Amino acid sequence: MGYVVGVDLGGTQIRACLADMKGSILCEARQPTLAKEGLQPVLQRMKETIAQVLHGISGIEVLGIGVGSPGPLDPRTGVVIAPPNLPGWRNVPLREILSQEFGLPVYVNNDANVAALAEQRFGAGRGCSDIVYLTISTGIGGGVISSGQLLLGAHGLAGEPGHTTVEPAGPRCNCGNVGCLEMMAAGPAIARHALDLMQQGQHSTLWAVVQGGMELTAEMVGRAAQEGDDVALQAVARAAHYLGIGVLNLIHIFDPDRVILGGGVSKLGSLLFDPVRAWVREHAMTDLQRETPVVPAALGDQVGLLGAVAWAMDRISSL
Protein backbone atom coordinates (compact mmCIF):
# COMPACT_ATOMS: atom_id res chain seq x y z
CA MET A 1 0.00 0.00 0.00
CA GLY A 2 1.26 3.46 -0.91
CA TYR A 3 1.29 6.59 1.20
CA VAL A 4 1.15 10.31 0.42
CA VAL A 5 2.27 13.46 2.17
CA GLY A 6 -0.36 16.19 2.56
CA VAL A 7 0.69 19.80 3.14
CA ASP A 8 -1.64 22.58 4.25
CA LEU A 9 0.01 25.95 3.64
CA GLY A 10 -2.10 28.43 5.60
CA GLY A 11 -1.69 32.09 6.45
CA THR A 12 -1.06 31.15 10.12
CA GLN A 13 0.29 27.60 10.14
CA ILE A 14 2.10 25.19 7.87
CA ARG A 15 0.93 21.64 8.52
CA ALA A 16 2.04 18.37 6.98
CA CYS A 17 0.97 14.76 7.43
CA LEU A 18 1.66 11.29 6.16
CA ALA A 19 -1.53 9.44 5.21
CA ASP A 20 -2.57 6.20 3.59
CA MET A 21 -4.79 6.03 0.51
CA LYS A 22 -7.91 5.85 2.70
CA GLY A 23 -7.11 9.21 4.27
CA SER A 24 -5.98 7.83 7.64
CA ILE A 25 -3.27 10.07 9.06
CA LEU A 26 -0.19 8.24 10.39
CA CYS A 27 1.77 11.23 11.66
CA GLU A 28 1.60 14.99 11.57
CA ALA A 29 3.87 18.05 12.00
CA ARG A 30 3.30 21.79 12.09
CA GLN A 31 5.09 25.14 12.29
CA PRO A 32 3.90 28.74 12.33
CA THR A 33 3.91 30.24 8.81
CA LEU A 34 5.25 33.66 9.85
CA ALA A 35 4.21 34.82 6.40
CA LYS A 36 5.47 38.36 6.98
CA GLU A 37 9.05 37.10 6.81
CA GLY A 38 8.54 36.60 3.06
CA LEU A 39 9.04 33.83 0.53
CA GLN A 40 12.34 32.08 1.38
CA PRO A 41 11.80 31.60 5.14
CA VAL A 42 8.28 30.24 4.49
CA LEU A 43 9.59 27.83 1.85
CA GLN A 44 12.29 26.71 4.28
CA ARG A 45 9.72 25.99 6.99
CA MET A 46 7.56 24.09 4.47
CA LYS A 47 10.53 21.89 3.56
CA GLU A 48 11.33 21.23 7.22
CA THR A 49 7.74 20.31 8.04
CA ILE A 50 7.54 17.94 5.08
CA ALA A 51 10.91 16.37 5.98
CA GLN A 52 9.66 15.74 9.51
CA VAL A 53 6.70 13.60 8.41
CA LEU A 54 8.65 11.98 5.55
CA HIS A 55 11.32 10.76 7.91
CA GLY A 56 8.98 10.06 10.79
CA ILE A 57 8.20 6.54 9.62
CA SER A 58 10.69 4.37 7.78
CA GLY A 59 10.27 1.53 5.35
CA ILE A 60 7.11 2.71 3.59
CA GLU A 61 6.60 3.79 0.01
CA VAL A 62 5.63 7.46 -0.41
CA LEU A 63 3.99 8.06 -3.80
CA GLY A 64 3.81 11.83 -3.82
CA ILE A 65 3.18 15.12 -2.05
CA GLY A 66 -0.10 17.02 -2.21
CA VAL A 67 -0.17 20.72 -1.32
CA GLY A 68 -3.13 22.96 -0.57
CA SER A 69 -2.06 26.58 -0.92
CA PRO A 70 -3.77 29.96 -0.94
CA GLY A 71 -4.69 30.94 -4.54
CA PRO A 72 -4.71 32.17 -7.17
CA LEU A 73 -2.54 29.40 -8.54
CA ASP A 74 -2.40 27.09 -11.52
CA PRO A 75 -2.97 23.47 -10.43
CA ARG A 76 -1.66 22.21 -13.78
CA THR A 77 1.77 23.82 -13.44
CA GLY A 78 1.88 24.12 -9.64
CA VAL A 79 2.78 27.82 -9.90
CA VAL A 80 1.42 29.99 -7.07
CA ILE A 81 0.53 33.31 -8.69
CA ALA A 82 0.04 36.00 -6.01
CA PRO A 83 -1.80 35.03 -2.80
CA PRO A 84 -2.90 38.17 -0.89
CA ASN A 85 -1.94 36.67 2.50
CA LEU A 86 1.56 35.43 1.52
CA PRO A 87 3.66 38.60 1.05
CA GLY A 88 6.51 38.22 -1.43
CA TRP A 89 4.98 35.25 -3.26
CA ARG A 90 4.71 36.01 -6.97
CA ASN A 91 4.70 33.24 -9.60
CA VAL A 92 6.40 30.78 -7.28
CA PRO A 93 6.97 27.37 -9.00
CA LEU A 94 6.06 25.50 -5.81
CA ARG A 95 5.68 22.14 -7.50
CA GLU A 96 9.14 22.34 -9.04
CA ILE A 97 10.79 23.57 -5.84
CA LEU A 98 9.35 20.79 -3.67
CA SER A 99 9.78 18.01 -6.19
CA GLN A 100 13.45 18.91 -6.63
CA GLU A 101 13.90 18.95 -2.86
CA PHE A 102 12.28 15.59 -2.20
CA GLY A 103 12.53 13.71 -5.50
CA LEU A 104 8.80 12.99 -5.44
CA PRO A 105 5.92 14.05 -7.67
CA VAL A 106 4.17 17.12 -6.19
CA TYR A 107 0.56 18.17 -6.79
CA VAL A 108 -0.48 21.71 -5.86
CA ASN A 109 -4.04 23.07 -5.80
CA ASN A 110 -5.81 25.89 -4.03
CA ASP A 111 -7.00 25.42 -0.47
CA ALA A 112 -10.74 25.72 -1.10
CA ASN A 113 -10.62 23.31 -4.04
CA VAL A 114 -8.76 20.64 -2.09
CA ALA A 115 -11.09 21.18 0.88
CA ALA A 116 -14.03 20.38 -1.41
CA LEU A 117 -12.27 17.20 -2.47
CA ALA A 118 -11.60 16.25 1.17
CA GLU A 119 -15.23 16.70 2.17
CA GLN A 120 -16.32 14.59 -0.81
CA ARG A 121 -13.86 11.76 -0.13
CA PHE A 122 -13.74 11.70 3.67
CA GLY A 123 -16.35 14.11 5.05
CA ALA A 124 -19.88 15.41 4.60
CA GLY A 125 -19.97 14.49 0.91
CA ARG A 126 -18.89 10.87 1.17
CA GLY A 127 -20.57 8.72 -1.48
CA CYS A 128 -21.68 11.74 -3.54
CA SER A 129 -20.46 12.26 -7.12
CA ASP A 130 -21.64 15.89 -7.27
CA ILE A 131 -21.08 18.39 -4.48
CA VAL A 132 -20.75 22.14 -4.05
CA TYR A 133 -18.56 23.21 -1.12
CA LEU A 134 -18.38 26.74 0.30
CA THR A 135 -16.10 27.86 3.10
CA ILE A 136 -17.36 31.05 4.73
CA SER A 137 -15.06 33.01 7.00
CA THR A 138 -13.44 36.40 6.26
CA GLY A 139 -13.95 35.49 2.61
CA ILE A 140 -15.95 32.87 0.74
CA GLY A 141 -13.99 30.20 -1.07
CA GLY A 142 -15.40 27.26 -2.91
CA GLY A 143 -14.88 24.08 -4.81
CA VAL A 144 -17.11 21.91 -6.96
CA ILE A 145 -16.99 18.18 -7.67
CA SER A 146 -19.02 17.25 -10.74
CA SER A 147 -19.39 13.61 -11.81
CA GLY A 148 -16.58 12.80 -9.37
CA GLN A 149 -14.18 15.33 -10.91
CA LEU A 150 -12.87 18.48 -9.27
CA LEU A 151 -13.77 21.46 -11.47
CA LEU A 152 -10.55 23.17 -12.58
CA GLY A 153 -11.39 25.45 -15.50
CA ALA A 154 -9.31 26.43 -18.51
CA HIS A 155 -6.57 28.07 -16.40
CA GLY A 156 -7.15 26.30 -13.09
CA LEU A 157 -9.08 29.28 -11.73
CA ALA A 158 -12.56 27.70 -11.56
CA GLY A 159 -14.60 27.53 -8.38
CA GLU A 160 -14.92 31.10 -7.16
CA PRO A 161 -18.64 31.34 -6.33
CA GLY A 162 -17.71 33.81 -3.58
CA HIS A 163 -17.02 36.27 -6.36
CA THR A 164 -20.33 36.07 -8.18
CA THR A 165 -22.63 39.10 -8.03
CA VAL A 166 -25.73 38.43 -5.91
CA GLU A 167 -26.54 42.12 -5.32
CA PRO A 168 -26.01 44.46 -8.29
CA ALA A 169 -26.58 47.41 -5.94
CA GLY A 170 -23.96 46.08 -3.51
CA PRO A 171 -20.49 47.45 -2.77
CA ARG A 172 -17.43 46.88 -4.94
CA CYS A 173 -15.34 43.86 -3.87
CA ASN A 174 -11.53 43.77 -3.59
CA CYS A 175 -11.60 41.32 -6.48
CA GLY A 176 -12.91 44.03 -8.82
CA ASN A 177 -16.47 42.74 -9.09
CA VAL A 178 -19.62 44.26 -7.58
CA GLY A 179 -21.94 42.91 -4.87
CA CYS A 180 -20.08 39.59 -4.64
CA LEU A 181 -21.51 36.84 -2.44
CA GLU A 182 -18.41 37.33 -0.28
CA MET A 183 -19.21 41.06 0.15
CA MET A 184 -22.78 40.27 1.18
CA ALA A 185 -22.49 37.12 3.30
CA ALA A 186 -18.97 36.56 4.70
CA GLY A 187 -17.88 37.52 8.23
CA PRO A 188 -17.01 41.18 7.56
CA ALA A 189 -20.41 41.67 5.88
CA ILE A 190 -22.18 40.42 9.02
CA ALA A 191 -20.24 42.89 11.15
CA ARG A 192 -20.92 45.69 8.65
CA HIS A 193 -24.67 44.94 8.54
CA ALA A 194 -24.82 45.14 12.34
CA LEU A 195 -22.88 48.41 12.40
CA ASP A 196 -25.16 49.91 9.73
CA LEU A 197 -28.26 49.04 11.75
CA MET A 198 -26.81 50.62 14.91
CA GLN A 199 -25.79 53.71 12.99
CA GLN A 200 -29.39 53.94 11.76
CA GLY A 201 -30.39 54.20 15.41
CA GLN A 202 -31.30 50.64 16.36
CA HIS A 203 -30.34 49.56 19.87
CA SER A 204 -28.04 46.61 20.45
CA THR A 205 -25.86 45.09 23.15
CA LEU A 206 -23.07 45.40 20.54
CA TRP A 207 -23.05 49.18 20.81
CA ALA A 208 -20.81 48.95 23.88
CA VAL A 209 -18.18 47.20 21.76
CA VAL A 210 -18.23 49.93 19.13
CA GLN A 211 -18.20 52.71 21.72
CA GLY A 212 -15.25 51.03 23.43
CA GLY A 213 -13.32 51.50 20.19
CA MET A 214 -13.02 47.77 19.45
CA GLU A 215 -13.51 46.39 15.98
CA LEU A 216 -16.80 44.55 15.67
CA THR A 217 -16.34 40.98 14.41
CA ALA A 218 -18.74 38.43 12.95
CA GLU A 219 -18.00 36.25 15.96
CA MET A 220 -19.23 38.96 18.35
CA VAL A 221 -22.34 39.50 16.24
CA GLY A 222 -22.92 35.75 16.14
CA ARG A 223 -22.68 35.50 19.91
CA ALA A 224 -25.09 38.40 20.37
CA ALA A 225 -27.47 36.77 17.88
CA GLN A 226 -27.41 33.50 19.84
CA GLU A 227 -28.40 35.58 22.89
CA GLY A 228 -31.34 37.10 21.03
CA ASP A 229 -29.99 40.58 20.23
CA ASP A 230 -32.29 41.95 17.54
CA VAL A 231 -29.68 43.89 15.55
CA ALA A 232 -27.38 40.87 15.55
CA LEU A 233 -30.23 38.62 14.43
CA GLN A 234 -31.04 40.98 11.55
CA ALA A 235 -27.40 41.14 10.50
CA VAL A 236 -27.10 37.35 10.41
CA ALA A 237 -30.44 37.04 8.61
CA ARG A 238 -29.29 39.45 5.92
CA ALA A 239 -26.12 37.44 5.29
CA ALA A 240 -28.15 34.22 5.29
CA HIS A 241 -30.54 35.74 2.73
CA TYR A 242 -27.71 36.38 0.27
CA LEU A 243 -26.12 33.05 1.07
CA GLY A 244 -29.46 31.41 0.22
CA ILE A 245 -29.45 33.18 -3.15
CA GLY A 246 -25.86 32.08 -3.81
CA VAL A 247 -26.51 28.49 -2.77
CA LEU A 248 -29.64 28.17 -4.92
CA ASN A 249 -27.81 29.72 -7.89
CA LEU A 250 -25.20 26.98 -7.52
CA ILE A 251 -27.90 24.31 -7.24
CA HIS A 252 -29.44 25.49 -10.52
CA ILE A 253 -26.04 25.55 -12.19
CA PHE A 254 -24.60 22.28 -10.85
CA ASP A 255 -27.55 20.16 -9.65
CA PRO A 256 -25.39 18.70 -6.85
CA ASP A 257 -26.23 15.80 -4.53
CA ARG A 258 -25.63 18.19 -1.66
CA VAL A 259 -24.22 21.57 -0.71
CA ILE A 260 -21.63 21.63 2.09
CA LEU A 261 -20.95 24.77 4.12
CA GLY A 262 -17.77 25.11 6.19
CA GLY A 263 -15.61 27.87 7.65
CA GLY A 264 -15.97 29.96 10.81
CA VAL A 265 -19.26 31.62 9.84
CA SER A 266 -20.90 28.20 9.30
CA LYS A 267 -20.60 27.69 13.07
CA LEU A 268 -23.60 30.00 13.43
CA GLY A 269 -25.52 26.76 12.86
CA SER A 270 -29.26 26.90 12.42
CA LEU A 271 -29.28 30.72 12.46
CA LEU A 272 -27.52 30.45 9.10
CA PHE A 273 -28.60 27.05 7.78
CA ASP A 274 -32.35 27.36 8.41
CA PRO A 275 -32.92 30.45 6.22
CA VAL A 276 -30.64 29.05 3.49
CA ARG A 277 -32.57 25.78 3.43
CA ALA A 278 -35.90 27.64 3.46
CA TRP A 279 -34.80 29.78 0.49
CA VAL A 280 -33.84 26.67 -1.50
CA ARG A 281 -37.10 24.90 -0.61
CA GLU A 282 -39.21 27.88 -1.62
CA HIS A 283 -37.40 28.91 -4.82
CA ALA A 284 -35.86 25.88 -6.53
CA MET A 285 -37.02 24.87 -10.03
CA THR A 286 -37.79 21.21 -9.44
CA ASP A 287 -38.88 18.99 -6.55
CA LEU A 288 -35.54 17.18 -6.64
CA GLN A 289 -33.62 20.42 -6.28
CA ARG A 290 -35.90 21.80 -3.54
CA GLU A 291 -34.79 18.79 -1.49
CA THR A 292 -31.04 19.31 -2.03
CA PRO A 293 -29.46 18.83 1.42
CA VAL A 294 -27.49 21.84 2.69
CA VAL A 295 -25.20 20.40 5.35
CA PRO A 296 -22.32 21.50 7.60
CA ALA A 297 -18.77 20.49 6.70
CA ALA A 298 -17.51 17.51 8.72
CA LEU A 299 -13.72 17.73 8.76
CA GLY A 300 -13.12 20.85 10.87
CA ASP A 301 -9.53 22.06 10.85
CA GLN A 302 -8.29 18.78 9.31
CA VAL A 303 -9.94 19.73 6.02
CA GLY A 304 -6.83 21.40 4.55
CA LEU A 305 -4.50 18.51 5.33
CA LEU A 306 -6.96 15.87 4.15
CA GLY A 307 -7.62 17.95 1.06
CA ALA A 308 -3.93 17.95 0.15
CA VAL A 309 -3.91 14.18 0.70
CA ALA A 310 -7.04 13.74 -1.45
CA TRP A 311 -5.63 15.88 -4.28
CA ALA A 312 -2.40 13.85 -4.39
CA MET A 313 -4.39 10.60 -4.34
CA ASP A 314 -6.64 11.90 -7.10
CA ARG A 315 -3.69 12.77 -9.35
CA ILE A 316 -1.79 9.58 -8.61
CA SER A 317 -4.79 7.36 -9.32
CA SER A 318 -5.46 9.20 -12.62
CA LEU A 319 -1.97 8.42 -13.92
Q: 268-287 mask for a second copy (x: CB under 8 A)? A: --------------xxxxx-
Using rule CB under 8 A, residue 196 touches a second copy: no
- Measure CA of the first residue to CA of the last residue in the chain; give whole Å: 16
SS3 helix, strand, coil % of the chain, rounded to 5?
Answer: 45, 20, 35
Q: Which is nearer to a second copy, 138 or 249 (CB)?
A: 249
Q: How far is CA 154 from CA 75, 76, 171, 231, in A?
A: 11, 10, 29, 43
Applying CB under 8 A, which of residues 130, 196, 219, 230 lies at the interface with a second copy?
Answer: 130
Helix (H) or strand (E) holding 306: helix 303-317
- Scan residues 13-32 and list those touching a second copy (CB under 8 A): none
Write out 47-59 in H/E/C secondary structure.
HHHHHHHHCCCCC
DSSP 28-76: EEEEE--GGG-HHHHHHHHHHHHHHHHTTS-S--EEEEEEEE-SSEETT
Stretch that binds a second copy, among 39-47, 84-92, 194-202, 251-259 (CB under 8 A): 251-259
Applying CB under 8 A, which of residues 55, 103, 127, 154 lies at the interface with a second copy?
Answer: 154
Q: Which is nearer to a second copy, 45 or 192 (CB)?
A: 192
- Scan residues 134-153 and list those touching a second copy (CB under 8 A): 144, 146-147, 149, 151-153
Applying CB under 8 A, which of residues 72, 88, 105, 296 lies at the interface with a second copy?
Answer: 72
Closest approach of a second copy to the CB of residue 131, in Å: 9
Applying CB under 8 A, which of residues 155, 171, 203, 214 lies at the interface with a second copy?
Answer: 155
Using rule CB under 8 A, residue 70 touches a second copy: no
> Which residue in 176, 178, 146 sits closest to 250, CA to CA?
146
DSSP-derived letter for residue 171 is: P
Using rule CB under 8 A, residue 319 touches a second copy: no
Using rule CB under 8 A, residue 167 touches a second copy: yes
Applying CB under 8 A, which of residues 48, 129, 203, 269 lies at the interface with a second copy?
Answer: 129
> How is the beta sheet containing 149-150 ordered, strand by strand?
149-150, 140-146, 131-136, 258-262, 294-296
Using rule CB under 8 A, residue 242 touches a second copy: yes
Residues near 60 by beta carbon (within 8 Å), at least 6 away in sequence: 3
Using rule CB under 8 A, residue 314 touches a second copy: no
AA identity, residue 184: M
| Contacting positions for a second copy (CB under 8 A) | 72, 81, 128-130, 144, 146-147, 149, 151-161, 163-169, 175-178, 241-242, 245, 248-250, 252-257, 282-286, 288-289
